[in-house]
Structure 1
Amino acid sequence: MRSALRRATAARRRRHKSGMPADYAMVPPFPRGGWNAHQPPFPEIAPTTQLTTLPSGLRVVSQETHTYMSAIGVVICGGAADEKAHLGTVGGAQLAEVCAWRGTRNSSTADVLKRAEACGAYLHANAQREQTLYCIDALRDKLEDATQLLAEACLLGPDLEAPGAMDEVREGMELAFLDATQDARVRENIHAAAYGSSPLGAPLLCPPSQLHTLSPKTLADFRALITQPQSLVVAGAGVGHDELIALAEKHFEPHLPPSTAPLAITQSPYVGGCVLAEERAPTPSGYAVEATPQVRIACAMRAPEGGWHSKDLIACCVLQTLLGGGDSFSAGGPGKGMYSRLYREVLNRYHWVEACEAFVSIHDREGLLGIVGACAPASAHHLTEVLMSNLLRLGQQPVERSELDRAKNMLKVNVLTQLESRLVLFEDIARQVATFGRRQTLQEMTAAVDAVTEEDILRIGQYMCAAPPSMAAHGEDLSRVPPYEQVRSWRLRTAARMRPTTLKKRHSVSVWIWYVDIVSVTIGNTTPHQFGAKGMPVPPPRPRRLLSDEWWKDVDEARKYTQTPKPHRNKPMAMAQIGFNGA
């Protein structure tokens, strides 16, 4: 007891010496006496999202969190794709991100940082292909200064006409390109492979060869293109709605340009293709130098048409969670995805796979769903086969109910856990309002996740297999990466053998689909015990490569037994695992 009192006294002395204001003491939201069965229950106060559109067209949205920090920011409906479509330039979006907090014509960079430090602020800016974000996380009683700083960074911009200012910015952008991770470069290249020279294929990082084309006019034209009143969403988490409206009217509306016609929607059709970048893999600061440089490969297919507005948006998110994956090691625990498909059937099966992870890239009208993996250069061909086989399998083999339920539960847990962060909550509110015009409630989100069925996943997989694939690779040695025509032939063979499937019963699945899994196990020279059509053990087949001619012969041979599958009285365990249970 005495030691606890001594620690409390020492803490009070430290706070007094540091000059911390007394009103920063945490006030419990409910009486300290707690609650017992003889008292009425506490009222259920659920936070709500409030949205207001000002006469100028500026939208203000907020949600109260009753904390001593507030996250406020702006999401602008415009990015690198709009720059490429309407201006024909590349690099303006990244230039806006790099110059976000470099001061304005009335204040220097040092003044901006000093004001941010006085607000206890964390500054952040991010430019993407279709949206640009500015964010400040500051002390709640300093929101006036933080909002003024945010409006100046978003609408006024820096003074790049000063001598040497543009050269300094170019050097920073070149270092950002050189410091980009191998994973970031592959994800950039997969967009170029999928959309070609269309706006969505424009890079987010300006190549060093085009830095000389950047000028102060590039940034001015990009800002004038996207900063329209109807394109801006001012959002806040941990701030009162009326207070945020007053701050937006005071600091944003005086700098807004006159309202004009919204930007025309540009089409970026999916074409599919291949981009190979054979160059030395970068080693960003803070990362260990690889003894053997890795090759990173990404394979992607076209997601259902409609992008963010597609009816299959939630199903695509469930499918990504179902595939899961990650690095070759994880400490486990809830939500780590150790039971996802790519962990179970790729990372835990092939020791030479260093990383394997599913990803989705959704845009306003289009989207990608793919898998990115890493391995040594000698295994590049094999890794490409593994990635493509897992993608093509989505259109052939229905998922099991237990696997789908696990993915849906994991998705809901991940979303709800992330929304406990104030910055994530702000970004979710702002981007949803900018994209959909409203924010989806958590009840609507969880209900949409629960409504995803096995038929939805199979239908999405069949839609993906109907379009040519996209592939990107990065590394020093890409000699073992298969040519794109060979990868495309795998997809064509799969589409030719694909049958329309309707899941009327859980166990009416064609056996040849499940036979694909048995054959694929033989790749790692670890063949399980096999059984013939009569339930008798047969010698294990010799290893065959995925999607090869011999592999397809095995598939065609297995189709002979799929017409009228009959259960066996003394059915071995292997048969129960390939779809006959419950027959």
Structure 2
Amino acid sequence: MVDFGPRYEVDVTPGVSHFLSKLAFQRSKTWPSRDSILEELDKNGGLADCQYHRDAFMYALTGFSSSFPSLLRVLSESLFQPIVTAEDIDSQREEVQFQIEELQRRLDPEPLLTELIHAAAYRNNTLGFSKFCPSDSVDLVSEKDVLSVLKRYFVPSRITVCGVGVQHDSFVETVHETFSGVTPAWEDRVVTPTRVDESVSQYTGGIVTNHSDSEPQRLVLNPLPELAHVAIGFEAASFHDPDFFPFSVLNVLLGGGGSFSAGGPGKGMYSRLYTDVLNRYHWVQNATAYHHSYSDSGLFCIYGSASPNQLPDLVQVLMDEFMRLSKPYGSEELSRAKKQLQSMLMMNLESRTVVFEDIGRQILATGKRRSPEELCDRIESVTSSDIQMACQKMMTQSPAVAAFGNLSDMPSYGDIDSAFAKGGRLPGRSNNFFGRFKF
């Protein structure tokens, strides 16, 4: 795990993280081609992957436990001795451009809404920088940008190496042998700037929209109904905030999903967004809560989808759910959410891949790893008043709003912000339940 991601792209061309993820495990000093790296991995039953978040990069290798010394050598060279030239970067431009276009065509609106709501919440700073390369930067990302990032951020103090399914002492010894004394490929390259960005995220609130008169064409046999998508959020808890656990429980308590779901026990069909929104308003196609947490901030959001002419009603329904968050929670509802969160945690940790990422991200973010037992105890200790106080504090800010699709009927940001400050009613919206229906 490397402490670098799009949030640090302050003084380089936006999108360098996207390119860097594509350059992972392509070429290195010992293995000068992608095929030679794959051949080395095949000999050890290995697979390689690189994923990145707004605040972290994850280089992952999996293979035979007995082959971890060979896998660590591949990992070490991929981190510190990759071959990166202008030709390597040019070879990735087409794939990066394809992924950007694919983001607009996806049936699932969540990735694009996540991008837009972060841009609205942290306008032009840190966590508001796009995870994906902007279209106008695809041809601008250069060898200099990549080397600048590698030289400043790919250093021992910002890297955590973790392993699962290996003997600890032997693993630590091999890591020292493999990583110590390695001369980075960029050591003698002159790159600027040389300072590490230490900016703290600044929540701004605001609105970011992506209006189109019709949805993008998708390769499906039967045309799907045209939908508009909205997300409303507020700054919430960071990893280090005591309110992190109340917000985590609240996220499960609200739950949500699509209007059609093959539900059943444990599928969240009794969560609040299902019972109070999806089962109540037939025209709402999706309503889901999300909690994004980082080292210095967090974002709590509710997403919704409906027909474009229902946008005012959809926004009002989402606002109603936010206004209810500061009210007391029933013991059954709260207990169900806590048990479901604990169950999800324990089931996920049955996967070695999840355990690996959990260890790496916790160490990188907090400097230590909390045991599953400690996490379950913290979840169990959350009370109704904990969630209420966290939400009351959250709701003192201006909201962040994101929307895309046909937004002709979208309420203005001024109306939404003013409504939150004055009891949660948009201008012209009736308290009458039936006032929200448009047939």
C-alpha deviation, 1:449, in angstroms? 0.7
1:343 aligns with 2:274: yes
Q: Structure 1's 156 and 316: CA in aligned 2 closer, same or farther, altered over 3 A?
A: same
Partner in structure 1 of residue 422 of structure 2? 493
SS in structure 1 of the partner of residue 332 of structure 2: helix
1:300 aligns with 2:233: yes
Normalising by the residue count of structure 2, what TM-score does the alignment of the two structures yield? Answer: 0.90
Partner in structure 2 of residue 29 of structure 1? none
C-alpha deviation, 1:263, in angstroms? 4.5
Whole-Å Cα distance in 2 between the matches of residues 444 and 290 of structure 1? 48
Checking the alignment, whether the CA contact within 8 Å between 2:52 and 2:58 is kept in structure 1 is yes
Encode CA deviations 1:264-302: one digit per residue, 9 max, x unaligned. 6312211100000114645677x7764323211111011
C-alpha deviation, 1:404, in angstroms? 0.7
C-alpha deviation, 1:328, in angstroms? 1.8
C-alpha deviation, 1:88, in angstroms? 4.2
C-alpha deviation, 1:117, in angstroms? 2.6
Partner in structure 2 of residue 314 of structure 1? 245
1:260-271 aligned at under 5 Å gives the runs 263=196, 265-271=198-204
Partner in structure 2 of residue 171 of structure 1? 94
SS in structure 2 of the partner of residue 251 of structure 1: helix
Encode CA deviations 1:74-126: one digit per residue, 9 max, x unaligned. x1112111222xx2431111111111122225410111222223332232211
1:159 aligns with 2:84: yes
Whole-Å Cα distance in 2 between the matches of residues 196 and 289 of structure 1? 38
Any stretches of 5+ residues in structure 2 without a counterpart? 188-193
Match of 2:2 among 50, 54, 76: 76
| Matched residue type, 1:210 | S
1:100 aligns with 2:30: no
C-alpha deviation, 1:227, in angstroms? 1.1
1:252 aligns with 2:176: no
Encode CA deviations 1:516-543: one digit per residue, 9 max, x unaligned. xxx96x53x4xxxxxxxxxxxxxxxxx3
Partner in structure 2 of residue 199 of structure 1? 126
Checking the alignment, whether the CA contact within 8 Å between 1:178 and 1:282 is kept in structure 2 is no
Checking the alignment, whether the CA contact within 8 Å between 2:206 and 2:399 is kept in structure 1 is yes
C-alpha deviation, 1:422, in angstroms? 0.6
Q: Structure 1's 262 and 217: CA in aligned 2 closer, same or farther, altered over 3 A?
A: closer
SS in structure 1 of the partner of residue 199 of structure 2: coil
Partner in structure 2 of residue 352 of structure 1? 283
Whole-Å Cα distance in 2 between the matches of residues 284 and 247 of structure 1? 49
Aligned pairs, number: 419
1:17-32 aligned at under 5 Å gives the runs none
Whole-Å Cα distance in 1 between the matches of residues 173 and 215 of structure 2? 49
The percent identity for this pair of structures is: 30
Partner in structure 2 of residue 462 of structure 1? 392
Encode CA deviations 1:125-155: one digit per residue, 9 max, x unaligned. 1122211111112122222222222222222
Q: Structure 1's 274 and 115: CA in aligned 2 closer, same or farther, altered over 3 A?
A: same
Larger relative contact order, structure 1 or 2 (CA cutoff 8 Å, min sep 6): 2
1:122 aligns with 2:58: no
Whole-Å Cα distance in 2 between the matches of residues 208 and 105 of structure 1? 32
| Matched residue type, 1:454 | S
| Matched residue type, 1:83 | E
Partner in structure 2 of residue 422 of structure 1? 352
Choose 1 or 2 for highest CA Rg. 1
Partner in structure 1 of residue 411 of structure 2? 482
Q: Structure 1's 209 and 264: CA in aligned 2 closer, same or farther, altered over 3 A?
A: closer
Partner in structure 2 of residue 404 of structure 1? 334
Whole-Å Cα distance in 2 between the matches of residues 121 and 179 of structure 1? 29
Any stretches of 5+ residues in structure 1 without a counterpart? 1-74, 497-518, 526-542, 546-583
* Bigger Cα displacement from structure 2, 106-115 vs 466-475: 106-115
SS in structure 1 of the partner of residue 138 of structure 2: helix
Encode CA deviations 1:466-497: one digit per residue, 9 max, x unaligned. 0000110111x11121111111111111289x
Partner in structure 2 of residue 146 of structure 1? 71
| Matched residue type, 1:464 | M
Whole-Å Cα distance in 1 between the matches of residues 242 and 221 of structure 2? 43
1:325 aligns with 2:241: no
| Matched residue type, 2:99 | A
1:281-300 aligned at under 5 Å gives the runs 281=215, 290-300=223-233
| Matched residue type, 2:97 | E
Q: Structure 1's 123 and 288: CA in aligned 2 closer, same or farther, altered over 3 A?
A: farther
Partner in structure 2 of residue 441 of structure 1? 371
SS in structure 2 of the partner of residue 472 of structure 1: strand
Partner in structure 1 of residue 325 of structure 2? 394
Partner in structure 2 of residue 60 of structure 1? none
Match of 1:210 among 118, 137, 152: 137
Checking the alignment, whether the CA contact within 8 Å between 1:335 and 1:413 is kept in structure 2 is no
Match of 2:161 among 221, 229, 234: 234
Checking the alignment, whether the CA contact within 8 Å between 2:86 and 2:142 is kept in structure 1 is no
Whole-Å Cα distance in 1 between the matches of residues 117 and 34 of structure 2? 36
Whole-Å Cα distance in 1 between the matches of residues 211 and 177 of structure 2? 52
C-alpha deviation, 1:311, in angstroms? 0.7
C-alpha deviation, 1:383, in angstroms? 1.2
Q: CA RMSD in A?
A: 2.3
Checking the alignment, whether the CA contact within 8 Å between 2:13 and 2:137 is kept in structure 1 is no
Q: Structure 1's 373 and 122: CA in aligned 2 closer, same or farther, altered over 3 A?
A: farther
Whole-Å Cα distance in 2 between the matches of residues 413 and 284 of structure 1? 36
Partner in structure 1 of residue 303 of structure 2? 372
Encode CA deviations 1:369-418: one digit per residue, 9 max, x unaligned. 011122221222211111121112212x2111111111101000000000
Whole-Å Cα distance in 1 between the matches of residues 218 and 74 of structure 2? 31
Whole-Å Cα distance in 1 between the matches of residues 308 and 424 of structure 2? 29
Checking the alignment, whether the CA contact within 8 Å between 2:255 and 2:268 is kept in structure 1 is yes
SS in structure 2 of the partner of residue 298 of structure 1: strand
1:431-580 aligned at under 5 Å gives the runs 431-475=361-405, 477-494=406-423, 522-523=432-433, 525=434, 543=435
